[in-house]
Amino acid sequence: MNHNISEIRKDFPILNTVINNKKLVYLDNAATSQKPIQVINKLNDYYTKLNSNVHRGVHTLSGKATDEFENVRLKVAEFINVPNYKKSNPIIWTKNTTESINIISMAWGDENIKENDEIVVSAMEHHSNLIPWQKLCERKKAKLKIFPINEFQELNIKLLNEYINPNTKLVSIVHSSNSMGTINPIKTIINQAKKVNAKVLIDGAQSVPHMPVDVTDLDCDFLVFSAHKMLGPTGLGVLYVKEDVINTLEPHFFGGEMVLDVSYESATWNDIPMKFEAGTPNIADVIAFGAAIDYLNEIGMSNIRKHELELTKFALHLIEESKFLNDNTVLYGPKNVSNRSGVLTFHSGIAHPHDLGTLLDNEGIAVRTGHHCTMPLMKYLGIPASLRASLYIYNTEEEVSNFIKCFTDSLRFFENV
């Protein structure tokens, strides 16, 4: 499959939806992506043909379900290029990116962060990659440092040596900002962290679905992301832990499946990764996620990145032609288009983002309005909220044109009220 948009769009039933007598234009992909029929069918197939618990039964259904379940773990490991994944697979299933980060803050953080140690996050972090470290620093009397951004809404990389120094024990950083579209120079940050023996966690929730991400090349210690932002089901997250780190971790959740031997007095743990997956896992959604990985692989992550970059350039060109950006209406994110994802975030003093979003919804255009779970960033930018349009593989130039036109019309409407 090459990136033939018209053919791809046929795989997404929801794109035929009509909203307010207008064909749906879905531009809220940073919140969650739509699902192709291949994923929907896979989920249905599990419940109609395969429904059984995994790892625990000797009967045929359990064996088949286990094989499919574990095969997806291999697919995900290959997708992000985990080294030696067939020998030792460090992919852990969680509920979402948020849970993955919280697990590391407890399983790794409580054991390794000491008083006066420093943890570094950026000023553009999602709450999920901020609050767990705030609470860890409170528990351990450590210091949380906020890496600042510059006037272009990019990390102020000139301050790299100041913020990542010998006192730094962990850098937990977003790869691609969910609220501004900024793509951070992850390899540069990781290289600096390695110089001071700090661990690095990458929040890949907005990068893994949109571009090639290679953990062997990055050499990060942790990578977290969610299935639902990359064509898969909700309720499923991925936690990758580097081999030399995962071997030092103790489980944080306890119960069935994660044990090897149990007595009334004590217990020993199962092999990795099972020792981190207590209880019945999210079997159906894992198996359906495998179909999403297959779909993305068929298109190719480089092709997906290229498509979104072309759409973003097209959008920026239309925005410039529309001439609605001024002191009252601002587009956030890097000026250099190669440093940004397919996220277009606006704030206008003419109207509240919620009101603009409502007018767009009247035209069948779905966008996100609010603080996008980056409230400290919004406060730093001096705005209460913003309006975000986010692109994915099934979006078209026609949809982008429609959005820009309707957004421009909405601004003019409020100007004349």
The answer to whether 71 touches 86, Cβ cutoff 8 Å, is no
| Residue 373 annotated among the catalytic residues of the structure | yes
To 5 degrees, how large is the angle CA 338–CA 342–CA 344? Answer: 105
SS3 of the chain: the string is CCCCHHHHHCCCHHHHCEECCEECEECECCCCCCCCHHHHHHHHHHHHHHCCCCCCCCCHHHHHHHHHHHHHHHHHHHHCCCCCCCCCCCEEEECCHHHHHHHHHHHCHHHHCCCCCEEEEECCCCHHHCHHHHHHHHHHCCEEEEECECCCCCECHHHHHHHCCCCEEEEEEECECCCCCEECCHHHHHHHHHHCCCEEEEECCCCCCCCCCCHHHHCCCEEEEEHHHCCCCCCCEEEEECHHHHCCCCCCCCCCCCEEEECCCCEEECCCCHHHCCCCCCHHHHHHHHHHHHHHHHHCHHHHHHHHHHHHHHHHHHHHHHCCCCCCEEEECCCCHHHECCEEEEEECCCCHHHHHHHHHHCCEECEEECCCCHHHHHHHCCCCEEEEECCCCCCHHHHHHHHHHHHHHHHHHHHC
The answer to whether 233 touches 35, Cβ cutoff 8 Å, is yes
Residue 25 phi/psi, 5° resolution? -115, 105
SS3 of 198-213: the string is CEEEEECCCCCCCCCC
Under 8 Å CB-to-CB from 281, ≥6 apart: which residues? 54, 69, 93, 257
Catalytic residue among 137, 220, 373, 406: 373
Catalytic residue positions, numbered? 373
